[in-house]
Amino acid sequence: MNAKADDPKIIDGKAFAAGLRSKIATALADLKHKNGLVPGLAVVLVGEDPASQVYVRNKARQTVEVGMISFEHKLPVDTREEDVLELVERLNNDDRVHGILVQLPLPDQIDTNKVIGTIDPSKDVDGFNVINAGRLATGQDALVPCTPVGCVMLAKDRLGDLSGVNAVVVGRSNIVGKPVAQLLLKENCTVTIAHSRTKDLPGLCRTAELLIAAVGRPEMIRGDWIRPGACVIDVGINRIATDEGKTRLVGDGAFQEAYEVAGAITPVPGGVGPMTIACLLFNTVRAACVSANVDVPEILKSL
Ligand SMILES: NC(=O)c1ccc[n+]([C@@H]2O[C@H](COP(=O)([O-])OP(=O)(O)OC[C@H]3O[C@@H](n4cnc5c(N)ncnc54)[C@H](OP(=O)(O)O)[C@@H]3O)[C@@H](O)[C@H]2O)c1
């Protein structure tokens, strides 16, 4: 089934992300006018991974569209670790740059943790630095990974106050599962994190009023795993082969089955996916405001 954006069961991430970008553009015009502040986002890409190239191109385009400055650094696949670290240090010290994103995965000769650990935490708009992960885990202000922020924005937009909601997060990665669980805890959900060793995963999922799937296994979560009326946020992006010899994108949930049972559901594509870059721009505005000692614009505060 093709998800229709005007179907009330569908959580339209594409439309939500467009609305968020428009709010960011308004806030940026205001920041420029009142404070002379124009945030800059630097993206570092090492190598020529086709998917990463597409992401980086889209990030740069959307950065400029909302009114920020985009700095792109494309390095050859055989770049030495020390050269990447040196570039990150230079960006840390560049006042025009308020956000730094190093596109993952990095080639094997480069230690990802070392690179992420070198990014100034106040410019770490991907939120992967341990300082930001620690701040989030201890309930302090942090730059939080973009996809989890997007998931929680969509859930709050649909469900309103999440206080007391039974949430199950399937997946415990550092970039999605763990931070999304921390954010939901902050929203006062009762959170269970499931993973590959969880017993009776279908039974556990059936307890969820809010189910977040971040597994990376195509269509693993079936319709009879969903509690009737639940809100399902599907983070999965999996490319599978079709009978016609083509490929298509599917989520971690079996969409058609889950749709029948759920009260609300994100489609793949068009659900969580578009939120990631919009939240990256959001994080960059926040980082710029903190560094310039300026209040985050009102229009972005309620998010
Ligand atoms: N912009 C976006 O929308 C966006 C951003 C990031 C990721 N994604 C997508 O989100 C999905 C997850 O990404 P990720 O980076 O978090 O993946 P990941 O690092 O591979 O983590 C997957 C998690 O799922 C768990 N898992 C795997 N098989 C399982 C099973 N059979 N039963 C229960 N749990 C299982 C793993 O458990 P263990 O820890 O026990 O191994 C792990 O915690 C992928 O499809 C990815 O493409 C989308």
Please give the chain's pLDDT, 303 residues, in tens. 556 668 999 999 999 999 999 999 999 999 999 999 999 999 999 999 999 999 999 999 999 999 999 999 999 999 999 999 999 999 999 999 999 999 999 999 999 999 999 999 999 999 999 999 999 999 999 999 999 999 999 999 999 999 999 999 999 999 999 999 999 999 999 999 999 999 999 999 999 999 999 999 999 999 999 999 999 999 999 999 999 999 999 999 999 999 999 999 999 999 999 999 999 999 999 999 999 999 998 888 866
C-beta of residue 137 within 8 angstroms of C-beta of residue 168: no
Give the pLDDT score at 2: 58
- For 298, counting Cβ atoms within 10 Å of its Cβ (0-12 exposed, 13-18 middle, 19+ buried), the class is exposed
- Ligand 1 close to Cβ of residue 148 (< 6 A): no
- Ligand 1 close to Cβ of residue 174 (< 6 A): no
d(C-alpha 277, C-alpha 206), whole Å: 31
Q: What positions carry a catalytic annotation?
A: 59, 103, 126
Rounded to the nearest whole angstrom, what is the distance from the C-alpha of residue 28 to the centroid of ligand 1? 34
Rounded to the nearest whole angstrom, what is the distance from the C-alpha of residue 248 to the centroid of ligand 1? 18
pTM, full prediction: 0.96
- Ligand 1 close to Cβ of residue 32 (< 6 A): no
Using CA positions, which residue lies closest to atom 10 of ligand 1?
236
- Ligand 1 close to Cβ of residue 210 (< 6 A): no
Contacts of 114 (CB under 8 A, 6+ apart): 81, 85
Give the pLDDT score at 4: 67
Residue 110 phi/psi, 5-degree rounding, is -115, 130
